[in-house]
Amino acid sequence: MRMRTHVSTPGRAHRAEGARDIHRALPEEVPVALVFNGTTQAVMMATPGDLGDFLRGFALTEAVVTDLAQISEIEIVEHPQGLEARAWLSEDRAHAMLARRRSATGPIGCGLCGIDSLEQAARPVPRVRSDLRLTARDVAGASDALRPHQTLHQLTGATHAAGFLVPGAGIAFAREDVGRHNALDKLIGALLHQGIDPASGAVVMTSRVSIELVQKCALAGIAILIAVSAPTAAALRLAEEAGITLAAFARNGAFDVFSHPHRIIDEAVHVA
């Protein structure tokens, strides 16, 4: 039986008008081991949903594979302590996982925890070359367009989301997780599994932009990254270097763009 993504928990609410018994939906957070050819590459705290997508996206954004065809089989196995997402790789890719072996549990706030050298933290990423364009109106409304897809967040108020914004068509896919980088891996994995090129749209995140999000976008070929909060300075430097358009503070009908602004078609943005 697959673990639930959330549970109902009793509590007591204290408000100005008094106190009352309540039930709240809280998201589950469990250890998920990402296992390739029998070897654990990472153990991440994650929401136990869309784990096949999580494994596919992680494999690509961590350079374990360069194409999903190099994964022959995926299996999700439940244990008392957590979950294993297992994949079997083609022989020519089996050695790639050894290059970025992760041995520590990664907490939800950090997508780089567990790497074993400073060089891996500063790994080079490919430069994204893309003719993708978005209107300023698309970017300004991106976080509002993502909100209806955040069903787990609406229940719990405690998860991040990554959405795929198609020019002129809105949010086509979204994935949620307690970890922002997990949500992005799940989204990228879902797109690849559906045969959709991640380069054909932009990614919208409900979080700040840290360096690992930019790394993952670059490896997936994503040219535009939109976030409701701020980027770190390191993330911005990498976005500039990688050719990624980084827009932040995208909420309330407005946004700031910090790198490669040529992909945003400038027009008046009116706040409703």
What digits encode the pLDDT tens for the residues 209-264?
A: 999 999 999 999 999 999 999 999 999 999 999 999 999 999 999 999 999 999 99
Q: Quick one: pLDDT at residue 111?
A: 56
16 within some domain: no
- Whether 110 is catalytic is yes
DSSP string across the chain:
-PPPSEEEEEEEEEETTEEEEEEEEEE--EEEEEEETTEEEEEEEE-SSSHHHHHHHHHHHTTS-SSGGGEEEEEEEEETTEEEEEEEE-GGGTTHHHHT---SEEPTT-SSTT---HHHHT---PPP-----EEHHHHHTHHHHHGGG-HHHHHHS--EEEEEEETTTEEEEEEEESSHHHHHHHHHHHHHHTT--GGGSEEEESS-B-HHHHHHHHHHT--EEEESSPBPHHHHHHHHHHT-EEEEEEETTEEEEEE-GGGEE-------
In this structure, what CATH number is given to the domain that contains residue 117? 3.10.20.10
15 within some domain: no
163 within some domain: yes
Same domain, 44 and 147: no
Same domain, 162 and 66: no
pLDDT beyond 50 at 92: yes
270 within some domain: no
Q: Quick one: pLDDT at residue 246?
A: 98
Same domain, 95 and 202: no
Same domain, 242 and 142: yes
11 within some domain: no
Out of 95-99, 110-114, 169-173, 217-221, which region has the weakest mean confidence (pLDDT)?
Answer: 110-114
Judge whether 171 and 149 are in contact, CB under 8 Å: yes
Report strand pairing: 82-89 vs 71-79. Answer: antiparallel
55 within some domain: yes
Total domain count for the chain? Answer: 2
Averaged pLDDT, 13-29:
95
Q: Which residues form the domain of 249?
A: 134-265
129 within some domain: no
Backbone angles phi, psi at 230, to 5 degrees: -85, 155
Same domain, 112 and 140: no
Q: Quick one: pLDDT at residue 103?
A: 40
Catalytic residue among 13, 77, 98, 110: 110
Report strand pairing: 30-36 vs 82-89. Answer: parallel
Q: Quick one: pLDDT at residue 94?
A: 81
pTM: predicted TM-score of the whole model, two decimal places: 0.90
Last residue of a domain, one of 76, 95, 121: 121
Q: What HEC string does 131-160 produce? A: CCCEEHHHHHCHHHHHHHHCHHHHHHCCCE
Same domain, 151 and 254: yes
Same domain, 143 and 261: yes
pLDDT > 90 fraction of the chain, expressed in percent and rounded: 80
Same domain, 241 and 140: yes
Same domain, 60 and 158: no
pLDDT in tens, 157-198: 999 999 999 998 999 999 999 999 999 999 999 999 999 999
Q: Quick one: pLDDT at residue 156?
A: 96
Last residue of a domain, one of 121, 142, 171: 121
Q: How far is residue 25 from each of residues 5, 22, 154, 177, 207, measured CA to CA in Å?
A: 10, 10, 9, 14, 21
CA gap 153, 150 in Å, rounded: 5
Alpha-carbon dihedral sign for residues 247, 186, 9, 151: positive
Same domain, 143 and 251: yes
In this structure, what CATH number is given to the domain that contains residue 231? 3.40.140.10
Q: How confident is the model at residue 102 (pLDDT cuts 50, 70, 90)?
A: very low
- For 172, the enclosing helix (H) or strand (E) is strand 170-177
Q: Quick one: pLDDT at residue 99?
A: 58
pLDDT beyond 70 at 204: yes
19 within some domain: no
